[in-house]
Copies of this chain bind each other. A is one copy, B any other.
Amino acid sequence: MVQPRPRPHLLRCVGQAFKGCRATHSSSDSYRLSIARLLDDKPAYAKDVVVTGFVRSIRNQKQRSFASIGDGSSLESLQALLTPAQAQSLSTGTAVRFTGSWRPSPNPKAQSHELHVADVDIIGPAEASTFPLQKKYHTPEYLRTMPHLRTRVPLNSTLLRFRSDAIAAVTNMFYKDGFTQSHTPIITSSDCEGAGEVFHLDSSQKGPKTKDDDGTFFRAPKYLTVSSQLHLEALAQSVGNVWTLSPTFRAEKSDTARHLSEFYMLEAEISFTEDMNDVMRVVQNTIGAITKDLESGSRVGKELLSVSPDLDLLPRRWRGGSRDFPKVTYTEAINILRSSSHQFEYEPRWGAGLQAEHERYIANELGTSWDASVPVFVTHYPKVIKPFYMLSTAANENSRETVDCFDLLVPEACEIVGGSMREHRLEPLIKSMQACKMIPPGPIPSDDELGELKWYIDLRRWGSVPHGGFGLGFDRLLAYLAGVPNIREMVTFPRWVGRCEC
């Protein structure tokens, strides 16, 4: 787990920060504080406090006005007390700098303290009649039409800070565990990994003028990566355990709450192991690093709890992160499904993929305890429904060939991780690719026949070692842990079919 996040620090003397403004309060004893810092520290009394932020709402009374101010560092607003004259030019969205004294509130149930404003500086005005984010409820759909403004909504700023904390937590965990973080490529040469539809780069883009020029920038068709796995496997053979948190792309027309065309995947490869438990342990540690942070009373954790409509939902999910994740084989899962009295729309059948309804049932059945929602590993799926690179299970029954793989399902939601042991032997890998019709049949294919995946096959030629890895849908995990129903709220500028704003 990462160290407790330090409170946003004392920024600087105002006089330095705003040299262009009037210098009344630029004396060295007046400091700008983040609102989170003020709310967390709750000093009993402080004078010459400077706060910068945005007006979230204004309430005018005869004798005085109240402004709610936010600066994105907290979900909670700071209450500022002004004269009606001071409040006159303020409206929702206005950027202000307030200087004043911080005093106990006469209404401590509403807020412990309030800022008695002496000086108001309007840094950035906002025309009330046109500002699209007036203080009222806006639907997620409405907010998605303006992603450039959406993070100004306090809850959306909490989600942004949650992502930041989560990145820091996993970076720190992998660092401590001796994993090498790498930046795998985005533009790739292969469109045949079987992970879904790929985006193509425009091949008409002109490249160098040379004799072997086909007129394209890279001299061959190129794509946006669908997974960093193959490249990570190359690195794992060089430096041991590796990971990446990288953008990933799918040109799929899915218009659902859990699909995006551009999303972040956390992928890791664990080298020199034949034991899939080693890989699943890393998955568990990754999720545990984030939930431990949330449970430790972090500001983001408290904010998410404060807005969750179901009092118990998030604590149950976070507790689940530190429990042992149950493991069940696909075959066992099918048996559980078939012997259940539940009426499924699709009949559970060995050899077919698990439908969302099946996944939900298994996750709820095996992952739900009285106080926690625990993710569930389903392992050893049929070979025929999984990609070519997965390792066949050693003791396969002939009729029911499986691979050493796993999906991680979360209760109430869906699959968020997929992983497997990789086929690390040359000949079985080539046979598997032939079975998937990726390369022509026959004894030893030529380099030309191996095509764009020749380099991947090369990894099996010299010093290939047993290894396995996984890909975790980072946005999906964050949405699950924040209790946000739609993944599009977890991404600042979401892209899906037909939609790419800004």
Contacts and interface: CB of A to CB of B under 8 A. Distances in A.
Contacts of A459: 148
A135 B70 CA distance: 61
B274 A17 contact: yes
Q: Secondary structure at chain A's binding surface: helix, strand, loop or mixed?
A: loop
A199 interface: yes
A171 B167 CA distance: 8
A344 interface: no
B455 A502 contact: yes
24 contacts: A5-B178, A6-B178, A17-B274, A52-B465, A72-B240, A73-B178, A124-B465, A127-B461, A160-B182, A163-B182, A167-B171, A171-B172, A184-B492, A186-B247, A186-B262, A187-B262, A187-B500, A207-B253, A217-B251, A217-B497, A218-B495, A219-B498, A231-B492, A235-B492
Contact of A176 (B6, B188, B219, B261): B6
A234 interface: yes
Interface in A153-186: 156-157, 160-161, 163-164, 167-168, 171-172, 175-186
Nearest to A247: B186
B239 A157 contact: yes
A138 to B, nearest CB: 15
Interface in A470-502: 491-493, 495, 497-502
Interface in A169-218: 171-172, 175-189, 199-203, 205, 207-208, 210, 217-218
Interface stretch (A8-16, A101-109, A363-371, A378-386): A8-16
Interface size class of A (residues with CB under 8 A): 35 or more
Interface string A1-40: 0100111110010001111110000000000101000000
Contacts of A497: 207-208, 217-218
A149 interface: yes
Contacts of A125: 463
A273 B95 CA distance: 13
A224 B32 CA distance: 38
Interface in A247-301: 247, 249, 251, 253, 255, 261-262, 264, 272-275, 277-278
A357 interface: no
A458 B218 contact: no
A415 interface: no
A455 B149 CA distance: 9
Given A180-B160, A262-B186, A493-B185, A124 B73 contact: no
Given A133-B462, A186-B249, 7 more contacts: A17-B272, A21-B274, A71-B272, A124-B462, A149-B462, A151-B239, A234-B492
A168 B183 CA distance: 13
